[in-house]
Amino acid sequence: MTVKLVKKAQNGNKEALLQLILAKQDDYYRLAWSYMKNEHDALDVMEDMIVILYEKIHTLQKRESFYSWSKTILVRCCYDTFRKRKRMEFLDDKELDKFATSHHAFELTDTQIDLDHLLAKLTPQQAEVIRLKYLHDLDLKTIGSITNTSIGTVKSRIYYGLKKLHHLYRGEQDG
């Protein structure tokens, strides 16, 4: 069914593209929120992704890869937003952090706060692949595509990230 909708979308059927997006809207939102950390920015990058999907859908070669392709575009939209924000620098980091943590759609649980605290102790690359693998249930190939790295590098980052998390969680020194 997905492949047929992608084919229709590639032929200019906006309704088919909308159906594809709506079928995974929760997954898109969770992925965007995990990067942006607030509802407003997550919705903004999702909007950017939809525009790009509409403009670039005809370039998709493997129709069965639509969702991994679209998630890659979403993550790149997140990165683009971060780059634009860095250039603008109209708020200092503390103000931006206060804004991001006070304006989101749901309450963070203690578990989420603990997980974010632990992931913050990893390298950004390790934290990213662990979030994509275990929180968003993405396969290694998709993670490699999103992060623009090889599957071997993804596996290595996951392995060493989990090893470090294990040491941190057990209260041991970094290893």
pLDDT, one tens digit per residue, over 17-44 is: 999 999 999 999 999 999 998 899 999 9
Domains of the chain, each with CATH number or no CATH: 1-105 (1.10.1740.10), 107-175 (1.10.10.10)
Whether the per-residue pLDDT at 96 is higher than 50: the answer is no
Sign of the Cα pseudo-torsion (39, 41, 44, 49, in order): negative
Whether the per-residue pLDDT at 126 is higher than 60: the answer is yes
Lowest mean pLDDT among 56-60, 81-85, 147-151, 168-172: 168-172
Lowest mean pLDDT among 18-27, 44-53, 75-84: 75-84
In angstroms, what CA-CA distances link 4 with 19, 48, 57, 107, 121?
A: 11, 24, 13, 38, 44
Q: Give CA–CA dist 72/92, Å, rounded.
A: 29
Sign of the Cα pseudo-torsion (142, 111, 25, 42, in order): negative
Residues in the chain: 175
Whether the per-residue pLDDT at 157 is higher than 70: the answer is yes
What pLDDT was estimated at residue 12? 92
Average pLDDT of the residues in 147-167: 91
Q: Which amino acid is at 159?
A: Y
pTM assigned to the model:
0.66
